[in-house]
Structure 1
Amino acid sequence: MRLPFVNYGLIALTVLIFLIQSTLPPAAFEAAAINFGMIPIVVRDLYPQPVPWLPDWANLVTYAFLHADWLHLLTNMLFLWVFGDNIEDALGHAKYLFFYIACAVLAALAHLLLNINGNGPLIGASGAVAGIMGAYVLLYPHARVFVLARIVWLIPLPVPAFWMLGFWIASQFFYVLVGSDEPVAWWAHIGGFAAGVVLAPLLRRKGVVLWGGR
């Protein structure tokens, strides 16, 4: 696949939405997160939808296109740019778009189930991107990914994707177990990753093998 235009389109749309967000005054910025983020008690219909014309379930998708700040956005978009094109190639354009949205929805549902009475908005593409990472582990575990390691100074080291992404998902479970106070949706990451692992074998194009063909 020469041009992963769906992946590029998702990146462009997400960046565009954040640029619009960034022009808003602080109160309006927070209102956007409340209106279009995923709030468990709103999705469960325990509290009125802030945007009357938006169905409660729609927030399971819209939240993935909002971000809290530039670091939040750029981190997610970096991972989407690095890993997304290969997954789009493995699934095909239309199925990749479905896969991305499905991972976002399932990640949000995982967050909801573990925060059943949550009243704060979940925002960010992290759950959907975690799904792409889960698919990558299954389809391209031996691909080399460069990571920055501090050995006296920062050095880029090639590491098999299986180990790099495996360490990442293990760290998500670690933070869940130790009860981190950071405002990070760990369960959304875990749910998205699991969704990617499950959906990738079902949606892959004919001839695309698991485990990199080994």
Structure 2
Amino acid sequence: MVIPVHDVNPARRTPWVTYALIAANFIVFLVLTPGVAGSLTGESSLAQLCDLQAFLERYAVVPQELIHHQRPRLVPTGDVGVGPQGPGCVVAPPGYEKSPELSVLTAMFLHGGWLHLLGNMLFLWIFGDNVEDRMGHIRYLLFYLVCGYVATYAFALVYADSGEPLIGASGAVAGVLGAYLVLYPKARVWVLVPFLIFLPLRLPAWLVLGSWFVLQAVYSSGAGVSAAGTVAYLAHVAGFAAGMLIAWPLRPGTSPTHPPDHPLYGRQARWTW
């Protein structure tokens, strides 16, 4: 799989919403998500794992809850206890109310580790500014959230009996990629291609994003797993398709939704590191 580095497609207005979304994802990961220290060192204590399980149970999407509204009788409390089989995470009846529909929103800002977070934010940083430029700030924010909801519900409907948490901005970001493909198919994207070494190539967006979508579709046809640390490929496919459909009326040849705030934002080529 190629790794995008930057696109040769300057935007005309400052992408404040894209910046805010990226900042929010980092803040939630660094400040609110338990176990970040363990993800940095590669080692997590039992207490950190139990705390993370309790956090995800409360704020992540669980397909079984979303589709059937079936709440588990016992959930992790975040505490560590000792049972017949040794130390483990304590479970008890949930002491809080959870809205499955609202958990779709909160789950969009949760990530299972640094690779998960950085991968999503890299794609959002590269492709989000131009989509926001075309749609306008408010419409772009609504578009992002709608794609995230469509991706999550599509996955949950197929795996309605799953009790594993589904987290990540991947579905919403996939919608941004789908919109970019429709709006800027001929834009050039610098990518790194792993071939013995990382080779830099400048490829058209239709090839970079089209091949990404095909790869996700192939993977989703074989498996779609919702557990943290695995990939919900079906959510990527659904989010991408939703992004394409929503952006279709704005494809090249139509007028921008709003005049630009500035004549030109960014340079001819913007490096993302």
Correspondences of 1:10-25 after superposition (within 5 Å):
10-20=21-31, 21=33, 22=36, 25=48
Instruction: Give SS of 1:155's match.
Output: strand
**Structure 2 equivalent of residue 74 of structure 1:** 118
**Inter-CA distance 46–202: structure 2 relative to 1 (3 Å threshold):** farther
Residues 141 and 161 in structure 1, CA contact (< 8 A), matched pair in contact too: yes
**Structure 1 equivalent of residue 63 of structure 2:** 40
Structure of greater relative contact order (alpha carbons < 8 Å, 6+ residues apart): 2
Larger radius of gyration: 2
Aligned equivalents of 1:39, 1:56: Cα separation in 2 = 8
Tell me if 1:184 matches 2:231: yes
Instruction: Give SS of 1:176's match.
Output: helix
Instruction: Give SS of 2:168's match.
Output: coil
Kindly indicate which of the two structures has a greater share of residues assigned to helix: 1
Cα deviation for residue 178 of structure 1 reads: 3.3
C-alpha RMSD of matched pairs (Å): 2.4
Correspondences of 1:133-212 after superposition (within 5 Å):
133-179=177-223, 183-202=230-249, 207-208=255-256
Q: Which residue identity lines up with residue 248 of structure 2 in the other structure?
A: P
**Inter-CA distance 23–32: structure 2 relative to 1 (3 Å threshold):** farther
Instruction: Give SS of 1:71's match.
Output: helix
Q: Which consecutive aligned stretches of 4+ in structure 1 deviate over 6 angstroms post-superposition?
A: none
Q: Which residue identity lines up with residue 95 of structure 1 in the other structure?
A: R
Kindly indicate which of the two structures has a greater share of residues assigned to strand: 2
Normalised by the length of structure 1, the TM-score is: 0.89
**Structure 1 equivalent of residue 262 of structure 2:** none
For residues 52-103 of structure 1, give each alpha carbon's deviation from its aligned partner in whole angstroms, at most 9, with x where no partner exists. 3442210111111000000000000000000000010010000000001001
Greater alpha carbon shift after TM alignment, 17-26 vs 155-164: 17-26
Residues 95 and 203 in structure 1, CA contact (< 8 A), matched pair in contact too: no
Tell me if 1:123 matches 2:167: yes
**Inter-CA distance 157–71: structure 2 relative to 1 (3 Å threshold):** same
Residues 192 and 200 in structure 2, CA contact (< 8 A), matched pair in contact too: yes
Residues 61 and 105 in structure 1, CA contact (< 8 A), matched pair in contact too: yes
Name the % identity. 42
Instruction: Give SS of 1:65's match.
Output: coil
Cα deviation for residue 202 of structure 1 reads: 4.7
**Inter-CA distance 47–91: structure 2 relative to 1 (3 Å threshold):** same
**Inter-CA distance 85–191: structure 2 relative to 1 (3 Å threshold):** same
Tell me if 1:27 matches 2:50: yes
Question: Structure 1 stretches of 5 or more lacking a match?
Answer: 210-214
Cα deviation for residue 51 of structure 1 reads: 7.2
Matched pairs, number: 209
Correspondences of 1:3-14 after superposition (within 5 Å):
3-14=14-25
Correspondences of 1:49-128 after superposition (within 5 Å):
52-128=96-172
Aligned equivalents of 1:194, 1:184: Cα separation in 2 = 17
